[in-house]
């Protein structure tokens, strides 16, 4: 059974305040390819906002003390303006909520409402000793119970087309004890048992399970016989028109980067063909490897256009090794730096005919897009 929905637990997003970590980005970019929806229980939403607010208040308290301590070491003219600094940070909780709302809207995430359950039934559940109420303190597990109940309630009313995976690092409160040591997909405790509901304890387990979706999704094998065939077509495009994709790959256009020994390997893909519209689309994940060389100096560093420039760590390490500050003048040739990264790729041919199915069929760089994962 293919996975049709992935539900986030609080701990998946809790420390990623900008919603930008690599695995989360990969999940969002491949959502269409794998063909699933993402859900966020309202309980999780409220926990995220509440935890951010609590953590931020704690950090502000530490910041106030630190500012006061620093100011004791400076003259009155050099003192930090505590009032001005705190004023700039005063709206951070509201800004976090706005980022969370935008993340939900941009990715079309389904918000699961709170469960409709009597308080009396919740208390009975607490004293039953069954998951997620396993602790001596009967109230521990209350929010986990609301999350699991909201998932069950929503999908009882809205029958999913496939399997529902609950992505959480907190598996012990949702599974029976004999399941706790498993690194793959886990069964929910008998208390929540459902043929469509399972737990993914990590992104690794989740992506492994999602890759099964491609085996069940429509795949026109007459278009491409293997991953290697698509790999060769992508490499051919990059060999001939690398400059078009340079910013997508390196996140920098300013440096003249020389590359050699480039290799492209498609990890997985899905291809579809609409006969009536004559549109062929193939998308997936491709791993690109190469060796890169470039010359850089202090002026180049000061004018780097993106903090995401992929070789920034090598440059900083060079500066540290040579004890250069940001004000020092320097120049260096960085040679044969090994570069490897995964990209989500998409290719659409808007005038595709099945009689094009020949070995000489090539990708046009204009219709190929790459997005770093």
Query: For residue 131, what is the domain's CATH number?
Result: 3.40.50.11490
Do 109 and 197 have their domain in common? Answer: yes
Do 133 and 265 have their domain in common? Answer: no
Do 154 and 270 have their domain in common? Answer: no
Do 92 and 198 have their domain in common? Answer: yes
How high is the pLDDT of residue 267? 93
Question: Tokens 């951010």 sit at which residue?
Answer: 52
How high is the pLDDT of residue 112? 96
**What backbone torsions phi and psi does residue 140 show, to the nearest 5 degrees?**
-65, 125
Question: Tokens 């390819």 sit at which residue?
Answer: 33
Give the C-alpha distances (Å, rounded to integers) separating 81 from 5, 70, 228, 266.
49, 11, 60, 54
Do 116 and 90 have their domain in common? Answer: yes
Parent domain of 7: 3-215
One digit per residue, the tens of pLDDT, for the chain of length 373 reads: 889 999 999 999 999 999 988 889 889 988 988 889 999 999 999 999 999 999 888 888 888 888 888 888 887 777 888 888 888 888 888 999 999 999 999 999 999 999 887 666 666 666 666 666 666 556 666 888 889 889 989 998 898 889 999 999 988 878 876 665 556 888 887 766 677 899 999 998 899 898 888 766 555 556 788 899 999 999 999 999 999 999 889 887 778 899 999 999 999 898 888 777 678 888 899 999 999 999 999 998 888 766 778 898 899 999 999 999 888 999 999 999 999 999 999 998 888 876 665 557 889 998 999 988 8
Q: Which residues contact 111 (CB under 8 A, 6 or more apart)?
A: 39, 40, 41, 42, 45, 104
Do 208 and 235 have their domain in common? Answer: no
């Amino acid at each position: 059974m293919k996975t049709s929905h992935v539900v986030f637990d609080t701990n998946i997003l809790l420390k990623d305040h900008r919603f930008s970590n690599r695995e989360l980005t990969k999940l969002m970019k491949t959502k269409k390819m794998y063909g699933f929806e993402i859900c966020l229980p309202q309980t999780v939403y409220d926990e995220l906002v509440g935890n951010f607010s609590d953590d931020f208040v704690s950090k502000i308290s530490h910041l106030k003390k630190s500012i006061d301590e620093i100011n004791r070491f400076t003259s009155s003219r050099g003192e930090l303006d505590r009032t001005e600094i705190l004023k700039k940070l005063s709206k951070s909780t509201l800004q976090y909520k706005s980022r969370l709302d935008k993340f939900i809207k941009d990715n079309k995430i389904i918000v699961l409402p709170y469960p409709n359950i009597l308080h009396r039934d919740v208390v009975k559940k607490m004293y039953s000793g069954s998951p997620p109420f396993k602790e001596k303190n009967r109230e521990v597990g209350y929010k986990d119970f609301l999350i699991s109940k909201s998932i069950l309630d929503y999908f009882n009313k809205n029958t999913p087309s496939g399997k529902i995976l609950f992505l959480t690092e907190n598996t012990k409160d949702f599974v029976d004890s004999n399941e706790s040591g498993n690194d793959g997909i886990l069964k929910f405790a008998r208390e929540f048992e459902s043929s469509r509901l399972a737990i993914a304890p990590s992104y690794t387990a989740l992506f492994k399970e999602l890759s099964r979706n491609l085996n069940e999704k429509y795949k026109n094998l007459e278009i491409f016989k293997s991953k290697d065939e698509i790999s060769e077509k992508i490499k051919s495009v990059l060999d001939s028109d690398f400059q078009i994709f340079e910013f997508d790959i390196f996140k920098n256009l300013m440096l003249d980067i020389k590359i050699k020994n480039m290799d492209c390997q498609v990890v997985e893909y899905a291809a579809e063909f609409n006969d009536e519209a004559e549109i062929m689309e193939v998308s997936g994940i491709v791993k690109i490897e190469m060796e890169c060389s470039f010359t850089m100096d202090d002026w180049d560093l000061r004018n780097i256009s993106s903090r995401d420039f992929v070789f920034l760590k090598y440059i900083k390490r060079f500066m540290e090794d040579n004890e250069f500050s940001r004000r020092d003048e320097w120049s260096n040739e960085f040679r044969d730096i090994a570069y490897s990264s995964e990209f989500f790729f998409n290719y659409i041919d808007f005038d595709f005919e099945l009689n094009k199915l020949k070995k000489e069929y090539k990708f046009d760089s204009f219709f190929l897009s790459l997005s770093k994962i």
